[in-house]
Amino acid sequence: MIKLPNLPEETRAAHASKGWPLALAGSVLLIVSGLLSWSYDPNILGDISIALWPATLQLFAIFLGAVALIFALMHKGPLQRLGDWFDAALGLRTLGNGAVFFALLSILAIAYEAGGLININPGAWVALAGAVLLFVGAHLTPQRLLHDLAKTQVSSVVEILVIVVLMAFALFSAAYVLGRDDAWVFVLFLLVLGVIVMAMARAGFFTWFGYVGARHRQVLTLAAFAVAFLFPFTQDGSDANMSIATQVIIFAATAIGLNIVVGLAGLLDLGYIAFLGSGAYVAAMMSNAASATVGFKPPFILVMFIGACVAAIFGLIIGSPTLRVSGDYLAIVTLAFGEIFRLSMFNLDGNNGPDLTNGPNGIPGIPDLKLFGFDFGKPHTIFGLQLGRFSNYYFILLLLIGFVILVFTRLNNSRIGRGWVAIREDERAAEAMGVNVFGLKLFAFAGGAFLAGLAGTIKAHQDTAVSPDQYVFLESAFLLSAVVLGGMGTVAGVLVGATILKLLPEKLRFFSEYRLLIFGLLLVVMMRIRPEGLIASKRRQLEFHDEDEGLAKEIQQEHLLEVAATTEGPR
């Protein structure tokens, strides 16, 4: 979201008493607007023409108004005890900015779909009035002196309940957003959700939740995987939505591998898609497809290992002679490697080279996986719900990304991970301190390639075909964008970045050829207002906001908590 200018402190101080009532009134108006009719046309945007029967945009307005009301009551009212810990004023300002954008975009959507402003009913205008009141009131509301979130004393039951509720909300949101076919509804829901999440972040909720997650790490991990496991059961057997979900997981697993190279070791790789392609081609050539070119047909578990090792060997081959260069030169070399791989797949057709890949035709007709008697190509009924082909692949990909996340986190927290970070920060200083710079760089390339090769072996069977056109430079650019957009060096950030980059183009097909333009503009805006990424590590965030003393204090507090956690235990 674009950051609107703040009011001068003199203006805020002079009218501070008016801020809270205006914010409260704006919140209530947003809720009321959701109960009114927004359009004369019942055939657009999920029928928002009926009063007292809210749908889509009306529900979003009620949801946004309810959250703003809670923040207002946290600042002054029955929930004021919570407001002693969380910065409700900052959260209200974010909600006020977002509410104005939501109301204006909703009016634009209705006018576009219904054929003019004349077809907009009072509900939308009431929402705009409420958003303006909330915006003005929020920016007039002064901030309060808060307690230190690190010293919060809440029972473990409440903390675990918060984790469960947040994970359940994530499951509901994912199911809802994938079920939206209308592009306007999809965009407006994401806008409302993003505004609320940003408001909670600015209020300090996720800082506190970080402490809760550290105290209940096992519960948080279990809840996250439970949500991921239950997701296919919310899609009512939809193969279209599950196809998107499986593509997201493959993309995310590959991006996490790239995160080792870029996020931890600080090496710019623009040809990373080649490692995914090498794993996919190995799986295709060793499959039972009629056009497969290798007579060796081992079990798929062994194929996964072979494909990952082949990708890692490619990583060593490209890394050994090139990692002595850095910066722009390394980027150019890796870009060239990506193109060399794609052109090699074109030429290994039996005419220009060995007959391995069938050239530009690729290897079609790859059969579905069959593991331990389970056929991934057939639908199965579980708990009375039919799960299709893509749901079957979703579960095995879930195991894959769990393994990839485990490898990444273990490496990140090890001596190797600390060596990578030292190289990223200052290669010369790391080498002077005895860090094996070249060896760790090479291991980063090989390790990241290994994880991408694993994902590629499953991707080949899920797509039922491989061809050189699937592994173009644009795919490498999207992988790098997922790492940078989500937050380099973090798992959650890359998962969010990968989801956004795969989901938005699929759901914005309504905008035809303009969707990539809109998407590019969003990335530019994102890099302008939050260059550290959506979910950045605190240390990397401080690199972009080194003047933020509060952030530096948070990092110091987290370091003390980590030291205390490692020294606790029986004596």
DSSP collapsed to 3 states, 316-353? HHHHHHHCCCCCHHHHHHHHHHHHHHHHHHHHCECCCC
State the first-to-last Cα distance of the chain, in angstroms, to the nearest integer: 51
Portion of the chain with pLDDT greater than 90, in percent: 50
Q: What was the pLDDT predicted at 560?
A: 52
Rounded distance between C-alpha atoms, residue 67 and residue 76, angstroms: 15
526 within some domain: no
CA 40 to chain centre: 37
Q: What was the pLDDT predicted at 150?
A: 75
CA 392 to chain centre: 23
How confident is residue 1, by pLDDT bands cut at 50, 70 and 90? very low
**What does the DSSP 8-state code read for residue 79?**
T
Q: Which residue reads 């805006």 in tokens?
A: 525
How confident is residue 240, by pLDDT bands cut at 50, 70 and 90? confident
Indicate the residue among 198, 214, 231 that finishes a domain.
231
How confident is residue 267, by pLDDT bands cut at 50, 70 and 90? confident
212 within some domain: yes
Across the range 518-541, mean pLDDT stands at 75
* pLDDT tens readout for residues 97-121: 999 999 999 999 999 999 889 999 9
| Residue 191 and residue 143 share a domain | yes
| Residue 400 and residue 342 share a domain | yes
Is the model's pLDDT at 310 over the cut of 70? Answer: yes
In the structure encoding, which two tokens stand for residue 348, read together?
Answer: 């290994």
| Residue 286 and residue 216 share a domain | no
Q: What was the pLDDT predicted at 89?
A: 93
Q: What is the largest CA-CA distance in the chain?
A: 82
Closest Cα to residue 253, out of 446, 415, 450?
Answer: 450
In the structure encoding, which two tokens stand for residue 271, read together?
Answer: 């040809």
Sign of CA dihedral 267, 268, 274, 276: positive
Per-residue b/e over 189-221, b at no fewer than 16 CB within 10 Å?
Answer: bbbbbebbebbbbbbbbebbbebbbeebeebbe
* pLDDT tens readout for residues 185-195: 998 999 999 99
CATH code of 446's domain: 1.10.3470
Indicate the residue among 211, 231, 251 that finishes a domain.
231
3 within some domain: no
How confident is residue 544, by pLDDT bands cut at 50, 70 and 90? low
Its pTM stands at 0.86
How confident is residue 567, by pLDDT bands cut at 50, 70 and 90? very low
Q: What was the pLDDT predicted at 9?
A: 64
Among 123-132, 453-462, 556-565, the range scoring the smallest mean pLDDT is: 556-565
| Residue 244 and residue 182 share a domain | no
540 within some domain: no
In order of 4, 108, 144, 170, the CA distances from 97 in angstroms are 7, 17, 20, 23
| Residue 246 and residue 222 share a domain | no
- The answer to whether 87 touches 203, Cβ cutoff 8 Å, is yes
Rounded distance between C-alpha atoms, residue 267 and residue 327, angstroms: 7
Rounded distance between C-alpha atoms, residue 116 and residue 568, angstroms: 66
* pLDDT tens readout for residues 432-480: 888 898 899 999 999 999 999 999 999 999 999 999 999 998 888 889 8
How confident is residue 59, by pLDDT bands cut at 50, 70 and 90? very high
Domain residues for the domain of 107 are 9-231
Q: What was the pLDDT predicted at 355?
A: 83
Indicate the residue among 515, 547, 564 that finishes a domain.
515
| Residue 167 and residue 259 share a domain | no
| Residue 161 and residue 274 share a domain | no
* pLDDT tens readout for residues 370-424: 888 888 988 888 877 788 899 999 999 999 999 999 999 999 889 999 999 898 8
In order of 1, 61, 193, 350, the CA distances from 197 in angstroms are 12, 15, 6, 55
Is the model's pLDDT at 368 over the cut of 90? Answer: yes
Cα three-residue angle 215-221-225, rounded to 5 degrees: 160
Rounded distance between C-alpha atoms, residue 206 and residue 200, angstroms: 7
558 within some domain: no
401 within some domain: yes
How confident is residue 428, by pLDDT bands cut at 50, 70 and 90? confident
The secondary structure element, H or E, covering residue 312 is: helix 300-322
Q: What was the pLDDT predicted at 527?
A: 77
| Residue 271 and residue 213 share a domain | no
| Residue 53 and residue 179 share a domain | yes
| Residue 198 and residue 319 share a domain | no
530 within some domain: no
Across the range 474-488, mean pLDDT stands at 87
Instruction: Give the other-Cβ count within 10 Å of 304's Cβ.
Output: 21
In the structure encoding, which two tokens stand for residue 522, read together?
Answer: 């969003």
Number of domains in the chain: 2
| Residue 290 and residue 200 share a domain | no
Q: What was the pLDDT predicted at 307?
A: 95
561 within some domain: no
Is the model's pLDDT at 222 over the cut of 60? Answer: yes
| Residue 250 and residue 217 share a domain | no
The amino acid at 184: W
- The answer to whether 271 touches 331, Cβ cutoff 8 Å, is no
Sign of CA dihedral 545, 189, 506, 452: positive
Helices (H), 426-514: 427-432, 437-463, 473-486, 491-507
Q: What was the pLDDT predicted at 571?
A: 36
The most confident of the ranges 138-147, 155-164, 532-541, 544-553 is: 155-164
How confident is residue 73, by pLDDT bands cut at 50, 70 and 90? very high
How confident is residue 54, by pLDDT bands cut at 50, 70 and 90? very high
Q: Which residue reads 């060896």 in tokens?
A: 439
